[in-house]
Amino acid sequence: MPSTTFRVFRYQPDQGDPQPYHEDFNLEHDDKITLLDAILRLRNEQDGSLAVRYSCRSAICGSCACRADGRTVLACMEQVESLKERNGNGHVQVDPIGNFKPIKDLVVDLRPFWEKFKSVKPFLVPDGAAPQKERLVSKEAMQKIYNESKCILCAACYSECNSLAADPDFVGPAAFAWGFRFAADERDGQRRNRVKLYSGDHGVWDCTRCMFCNERCPKGVDPRDAIEKLGSIAFQEGVTRDKGARHAKAFLISMRTGGKLNETLLVPYTDPIGAPLDTPFALQMLRKGKAPSPLPHKIKQLDEVKKLMKNVKETI
């Protein structure tokens, strides 16, 4: 029978332990045991004060998200033996999800997550009078929002988000996945207002595109893709005043006019008011040969680039 050491994050301010620490527990177990079942056995057999949040044990409720050896997972979806095989050192470290304040052991304060979820208006707001019966939607139309509809609000993506680590007010990947789910629902009448709401400070343009949310989402929601699609809707709806949108637009203009990125254009186009403040720095970079020439340039195959851009536009 395998035996595993679990290095578990402990934090019990109500028990006079104001500082967090890690505690080792040894457990003999079957070779097929999930991380959640192992944690529950530790609680039931070794320390009844170990706090953990869980409910369905079937990857549906999303309550048992935690970090196993630094990666956010649903504890009920992870086999202990697979985790050990992955880290190769015979023990498993268990921590609460990141970007949240721990309350007790593996339980965190989820209130900011729910506040941000509510802030994107995660419900349909149809235009016009209600129909006699239901509003019918084609299968093809529903297919466009199928991925985002799978979200179980487990906060695994939120835990891994680099933008949130830098800016705790960033709205976050899960909330934006829900935002897209409704912005792209053909029954909704608030498409433009939604992208205006999502494009402000701490909004979609503040995502660093690190892709961790896509990588760690246990349900394949791909929240980063949803954020990208919200950016596209913002462009389609003419909501492009935000610095992030202007930055993206500068890329487009640069590619369309020169066939390659003109970095010197990016700053003044993105932030025309603040850009003059960066002039001394830009001149210094030019002098040191660290900045590209500010003069317009065109590559020989500009027509090819334009064709590619047209193809991309037609496929999105």
Residues that bind ligand SF4 in the complex, under the rule CB under 6 A: 62, 151-157, 160-163, 173-174, 177, 207-213, 217, 219, 221, 223-224, 227
Instruction: State in angstroms the smallest separation of the CB of 68 from ligand SF4.
Output: 15
Q: Which is nearer to ligand SF4, 105 or 206 (CB)?
A: 206
Q: How far apart (Å, rounded) are the C-alpha atoms in residues 135 and 105?
A: 46
Distance CA 186, CA 176 (A): 17
Q: What's the closest the beta carbon of residue 219 comes to ligand SF4, in angstroms?
A: 4
Rounded to a whole number of angstroms, the minimum distance from the CB of residue 254 to ligand SF4 is 23
Cβ partners under 8 Å of residue 258, min gap 6: 296, 297, 298, 299, 302
Closer of 166 and 253 to ligand SF4 (Cβ): 166
Least distance (Å) from ligand SF4 to the CB of residue 25?
27
Half-sphere exposure of residue 8: CA atoms within 13 angstroms, side-chain side: 27
Contact 99, 14 (CB under 8 A): no
**Identity of the residue, 10 or 216, whose beta carbon is nearer to ligand SF4 in the bound complex:** 216
Q: Would you say 27 or 151 has its CB closer to ligand SF4?
A: 151
CB 224 within 8 A of CB 207: yes
Question: Is residue 250 a contact partner of residue 212, using CB atoms and an 8 Å limit?
Answer: no
CB of 177 to ligand SF4, least distance (A): 5
Angle (CA) 21 217 225, round 5°:
135
**Closer to ligand SF4 by Cβ: residue 108 or 213:** 213
Tell me the C-alpha to C-alpha distance, in Å, between residue 305 and each of 69, 247, 264.
44, 19, 20
Using DSSP, state whether 291 is helix, strand or coil: coil
> What 3-state DSSP class applies to 20?
strand
Structure-token pair, residue 186: 């053909």
Complex with ligand SF4: residue 42 or 213, whichever CB lies closer: 213
CB atoms within 10 A of CB 211: 15
| φ and ψ at residue 150, rounded to 5 degrees | -85, -5
- Between 20 and 122, name the residue whose CB sits nearer to ligand SF4: 122
CB of 185 to ligand SF4, least distance (A): 17
CB of 162 to ligand SF4, least distance (A): 5
